[in-house]
Structure 1
Amino acid sequence: MNLQGKNVLVTGGAGFIGSTLVRELLREKANVTVYDNFFSGDMENLEEIKDEIKIVSGNILDPELKNVLQANVIEYVFHLAAEPYIPYCYDRPKMFFEVNATGTLDVLLACKEGGIKKVVHYSSSEVYGTAQYVPMDEKHPTLPASTYAVSKLAADRLAFTMFHEQNVPVAILRQFNVYGPRETHPYIIPELITQLSNSNKLKLGNVKASRDFTYVDDAARGAIEIMKSKDTIGEVVNMGSGKDYTVQQLAEIIGELLGRKNLQIETEKTRFRPLDVQRLQCNYSKMKKLTGWSPKTDFMKGLEKTIQWYSENGKKWIWERKIGPEEKLWKPK
């Protein structure tokens, strides 16, 4: 399938992954509409391409979405809009569930009513919980360890049942961790870059936890390949690199890239999660079989690109200016 000239909507298109996906869709010569409430996402992420796309401010819980689909004659939908940052779910669990689960149901119902040809729903590797075996394939048990992960699993299963019960043509993408320019939340890689840009002293949580990282351009390209493939409808598909790194290893690698030696790491109790996921490592063989996709960007090269972007953009992430006092990280009672 070719997306050239097709009308595509991206919910959460002003976010970290979403804004990169929008750029990839423009390279495919698609007609792109971004639907975002700009709570996590930011117009800054779309600044240099804003004249090439249509931007609609809206909430996925708003019934207006179906009118947006109709007015823009949308044919394909990438659903990324979500409450994405795990530490916040401890303070607002209801909002996380409403947005991530109920919001997804609303999107899927709107897509059914609007006759959308295909939806790619963004799930998360967090639905698996800590790895019971590695690499983790789509048959791995789902044991979510946070309200965020529970809400994403609910949405994931809603997409699955809506395909079988309502004939909604949806593919479910279980995305492992992504990194790169335009990060919108203090995930571990941008957090390490920020701290190590200032000194060799780090304040961290669980340094033994490990994650599987895919460069954002590769991730966006993969999502498009899922959309293009007729074999992914009704399927759950993992996307990742197949290699994981501990927080300790990441600190040492990024420290070396930034010229920091003799790192001093202080672990803070406030940075530990009530239930932590110790390890995630992706088996993306199904993704490769169905779409031909595999990651192209070397991990070190991706880190270098990310650091370069950070340096060229005032050494400040969007989240550093957007997070207000009410967004402070959860702290154990």
Structure 2
Amino acid sequence: MSVLITGGLGHVGSWVAYHLAKQGKQVIICDMAANHFERLGLDYLEDVRDMLVLESIDVLDYHSMFELLLRHRDGLEGVIHGVSVIAGPYFQQHPYKHISINANGTLNVLEICRILGIEKVVNMSSGAVYGDAPGPQSEATPYNATDLYGASKIAGELYGQQYSDTFGMDVRNARLFFVYGPGKRPSHMHKVYQAMFGPLEGLDNIQAPNGSEQALDWTHVHDTATGIVKLFEKESVKHRNFNISSGVLIDHLKIVEHVADILGERHNVQLGPGPFVVRGAPLDISLAQQELGFVPKYTDIREGLQDYWQWLKANAG
């Protein structure tokens, strides 16, 4: 049996691909970066390379996506949809493009799966659907878009809900939150991420414009990927939406302190005033714990930071 993952070379998608391939499943990765896989530095995927099929296709290219899914339909258990432009200041600089990728890309996947009879779709959504509602936010917390990114994620979820109700599909939403860990270098991320995690990579003199007055539940990428795999593999679910995060609130300035403690020295990094993005936190993960058996490993972020540091050291340069 096989699984198709859109965005399967992204930070979270690549680890989902890894875990599924380790279980002996063939993983079809649909990602625009597939043509330069060797330059991505995803060392863990090299261990399962013979279980991967790489396809460089844009989710907004409906015709090519249709042909891809048609080609792999036989034996396909379902689709994990992970293509997304992440939240941050960059999102609103190109709103039409980014909303199209997040919302219309999801719609393309759902419509093609409907036509081809592929019933199971796990959509990588976001805790951004709750906006600034105070935490802990359960899956019963109403939608509340406080930015364009959140609106695009709400749209994707509503499309999935209607495709499930109208066509009998099994569309499930994994509501992810802020992710860190192996597979993504801080130097490739936004300034707030660089200021918090960058010293683990050797970055210094990072001045972020905001983020100091915020606490969020940052989740190690292994835990995020594990939750998504559990949601995909669950034979049947009573609910459609599941919060997948650490469920633990951590102040951003505490992360800076923990990184300094791990390294034994402080770097010249600074988070400016105010929040990075307008979000409430933490996510309530009790539903995923009860129904999926999801238990995050790195609830102590210091252990997660140590693991991240070890990966960055092993993949320096």
Instruction: Please give the TM-score of this superposition, normalised by the length of structure 1.
Output: 0.83
Does residue 16 (structure 1) correspond to residue 11 (structure 2)? The answer is: yes
Matches within 5 A, 1:120-139: 120-132=122-134, 134-139=135-140
Displacement of 1:52 in angstroms is: 2.6
Matches within 5 A, 1:126-275: 126-132=128-134, 134-183=135-184, 185-186=188-189, 188-189=192-193, 191-195=195-199, 198=202, 202-204=206-208, 205-232=210-237, 235-261=240-266, 266-268=270-272
Displacement of 1:146 in angstroms is: 1.9
Q: What amino acid is the match of 2:189?
A: P
Q: What is the alpha-carbon distance in structure 2 between the residues aligned to residue 197 and residue 173 of structure 1? A: 29
Farther off after superposition, 105-114 or 139-148: 139-148
Q: What is the alpha-carbon distance in structure 1 between the residues aligned to residue 238 and residue 32 of structure 2? A: 28
Farther off after superposition, 60-69 or 200-209: 200-209
**Contact kept? 1:173, 1:239, Cα under 8 Å:** yes
1:267-289 Cα distance to aligned partner (Å, 9 max, x none): 558x976xx32542011111112
Q: What is the alpha-carbon distance in structure 1 between the residues aligned to residue 238 and residue 79 of structure 2? A: 13
Counterpart secondary structure, 1:193:
helix
Instruction: Please give the TM-score of this superposition, normalised by the length of structure 2.
Output: 0.87
Q: What is the alpha-carbon distance in structure 2 between the residues aligned to residue 231 and residue 313 of structure 1? A: 39
Q: What is the alpha-carbon distance in structure 2 between the residues aligned to residue 85 and residue 296 of structure 1? A: 25
* Aligned-pair Cα RMSD in Å: 2.4
1:136-191 Cα distance to aligned partner (Å, 9 max, x none): 10112322222112111111111111111222211111112222111265154555
Q: Give the 3 Å change call, closer, same or farther, for CA 228–197 of structure 1 in structure 2.
A: closer
Displacement of 1:231 in angstroms is: 3.4
Q: What is the alpha-carbon distance in structure 2 between the residues aligned to residue 198 and residue 75 of structure 1? A: 42
Q: What is the alpha-carbon distance in structure 1 between the residues aligned to residue 25 and residue 238 of structure 2? A: 20
Q: Give the 3 Å change call, closer, same or farther, for CA 218–238 of structure 1 in structure 2.
A: same
Q: What amino acid is the match of 1:141?
A: P
Q: What is the alpha-carbon distance in structure 2 between the residues aligned to residue 107 and residue 249 of structure 1? A: 40
Give the % identical residues: 27
Farther off after superposition, 289-298 or 101-110: 289-298
Displacement of 1:199 in angstroms is: 7.0
Q: What is the alpha-carbon distance in structure 2 between the residues aligned to residue 272 and residue 135 of structure 1? A: 18
Q: What amino acid is the match of 2:261?
A: E
Displacement of 1:197 in angstroms is: 5.2
Q: Give the 3 Å change call, closer, same or farther, for CA 307–190 of structure 1 in structure 2.
A: farther
Q: Give the 3 Å change call, closer, same or farther, for CA 194–167 of structure 1 in structure 2.
A: same
Q: What is the alpha-carbon distance in structure 1 between the residues aligned to residue 244 and residue 213 of structure 2? A: 23
Q: What amino acid is the match of 1:32?
A: V
For structure 2, which runs of at least 5 residues remain unmatched after alignment?
none
Counterpart secondary structure, 2:294:
coil
**Contact kept? 1:120, 1:173, Cα under 8 Å:** yes
Displacement of 1:106 in angstroms is: 0.6
Does residue 90 (structure 1) correspond to residue 92 (structure 2)? The answer is: yes
Number of corresponding residues: 304
Equivalent position of 1:62 in the other structure: 61
Equivalent position of 2:314 in the other structure: 312
Q: Give the 3 Å change call, closer, same or farther, for CA 175–42 of structure 1 in structure 2.
A: farther
Displacement of 1:120 in angstroms is: 0.5
Equivalent position of 1:330 in the other structure: none
Displacement of 1:47 in angstroms is: 4.4
Q: Give the 3 Å change call, closer, same or farther, for CA 309–157 of structure 1 in structure 2.
A: same
Displacement of 1:265 in angstroms is: 5.3
Farther off after superposition, 6-15 or 146-155: 146-155
Does residue 71 (structure 1) correspond to residue 71 (structure 2)? The answer is: yes
Displacement of 1:29 in angstroms is: 1.0
Q: Give the 3 Å change call, closer, same or farther, for CA 121–268 of structure 1 in structure 2.
A: same
